[in-house]
Amino acid sequence: MALIDGNRIAETIVAELKAEVAALPGRKPCLALVRVGDDPASISYVRKKEKTAAEIGVTGRVILPPVTLSQSELETLIDGLNADPAVDGILVQSPLPPPQRTSGLFRRVSPNKDVDGFHTVNLGKLAQDDDSGFVSCTPAGIMELLSRSSVDLAGKHVVVLGRSLIVGKPVALLALQKRAGANGTVTVCHSGTRDLPAITRQADVLIAAIGRPEFVTGDMVKPGAVVIDVGINRVADASKKAGYRLTGDVHFPSVEPKAALITPVPGGVGPMTVAMLMRNTVKAHALAHGRH
């Protein structure tokens, strides 16, 4: 087996984007990051996005609305960002604290600023193989990890675990596209799937995105498979300073010896999500300046 080093691949992309942004004339790309509440994982993700933006030369504007804002007040806030010509990309960090609902806000973001790719228009474009929209960051990052690791999905059986809007559905659409690097035969499994291990054992490429710690075990994986672990789960661990450790959806010790290639957690898909967000922000800036 070999590890797919997401940190290294993301660093390469960040360096490419940094050079691209440095060469841009005039105002640099600007990303508005909206975070509501104090979910610890969201705090850490938004901080990482802000830090990477700064590294590239993208202006990160972090907006922390009070948790007491109503859904319609949040929508008004998004409307203001949509109308602001100094803002190129808008991201509403998910999850939102109840009773706010992310789906309505995702649709409120202008499709031209929807760097998360969650808007109906952008998901529709993805389903129609139309490159002019935004592809959500984690699925785009998975495809980039595969292509930069010389994994061609053509003719392969790609099994996706999970049907979320953020990962499962869009990554299945990407793997299915009739284009170089993709063209896979795709099966999507979910909580209603019967005899899931019988299906995962057929996977040439297994993408686990269900948010259940160490769900995929060695007996569920075909020898020589490529395993992409999208999960970032916090599991209580008193031996750690933080009181928890991060673990993926894959039980690494039993799967790693069977896999030809595997992504670690952390340091696999996670850094790629951030790199793709930056790429989308640069694309949104180009759109705003009529360069796309």
Q: Give whichever of 137 and 151 is closer to ligand GUN, judged by the CB atom.
A: 137
Dihedral (C-alpha) 170, 95, 228, 244: value to the nearest 10 degrees? 180
User: Cα–Cα distance between 140 and 162 in angstroms, integer?
Assistant: 16
Both tokens of residue 223? 């020898």
Q: Is position 112 an interface residue for ligand GUN (rule: CB under 6 A)?
A: no
Q: Choose the stretch contacting ligand GUN; rule: CB under 6 A; options: 14-22, 87-95, 122-130, 180-188.
A: 87-95
For this structure, is 258 an active site residue?
no
Nearest to ligand GUN by Cβ — which residue? 94
The greatest distance separating any two alpha carbons of the chain, rounded to the nearest whole angstrom, comes to: 56
Beta-carbon count within 10 A of 134 CB: 29
Residue nearer to ligand GUN on the CB measure, 29 or 231: 231
Per CB under 6 A, which of residues 123..152 are in contact with ligand GUN?
A: 137-138
Residue 91 in contact with ligand GUN, rule: CB under 6 A: yes
Identity of the amino acid at 194: R
Q: Does 272 bind ligand GUN (CB under 6 A)?
A: no
112, 273, 280, 281: residue in contact with ligand GUN (rule CB under 6 A) = 273
Residue 247 makes CB contacts below 8 A (sequence gap 6+) with 213, 214, 231, 233, 235, 265
Among 88, 114, 116, 249, the active-site one is: 116
Distance CA 163, CA 209 (A): 8
The Cα-based distances of 134 to 112, 122, 148, 278 in angstroms read 8, 6, 20, 12
Taking contact as CB under 6 A, which single stretch among the options 20-28, 85-93, 156-164, 199-207 is the one that binds ligand GUN? Answer: 85-93
Q: Which is nearer to ligand GUN, 93 or 112 (CB)?
A: 93
Q: How far is the CB of 87 from ligand GUN (least distance, A)?
A: 15
- Nearer to ligand GUN among residue 134 and residue 252 (C-beta): 134
CB of 270 vs ligand GUN, minimal distance in Å? 10
How many helices and strands (H and E) does the chain possess? 10, 11
Q: Looking at beta carbons only, is 118 or 203 nearer to ligand GUN?
A: 118
User: Strand, helix or coil at 189?
Assistant: strand
Q: Is 49 a catalytic residue?
A: yes
Minimum Å gap between C-beta 48 and ligand GUN is 11
Please state the closest distance from residue 104 (CB atom) to ligand GUN, in A.
14
Give the span between the Cα atoms of 109 and 112, in whole angstroms: 8
Contact flag: residue 166 with ligand GUN (CB under 6 A): yes
Q: Is 288 helix (H, G, I), strand (E, B) or coil?
A: helix
Question: Where does this chain touch ligand GUN (CB under 6 A) — which range of 90-98, 149-157, 220-228, 236-244?
Answer: 90-98
Nearest-angstrom CA–CA distance, 159 and 247: 20
Q: Is the dihedral of CA 159, 251, 163, 108 positive or negative?
A: negative
Cβ proximity to ligand GUN, 211 vs 218, nearer residue:
211
Q: Which residues 6+ apart lie within 8 Å of 164 measured at CB?
A: 209
**Total residues found in the chain within this entry:** 292
Q: Which of 9, 13, 77, 92 binds ligand GUN (CB under 6 A)?
A: 92
Binding residues (CB under 6 A) for ligand GUN: these are 91-94, 116, 137-138, 166, 273
Q: Which residues are catalytic?
A: 49, 93, 116
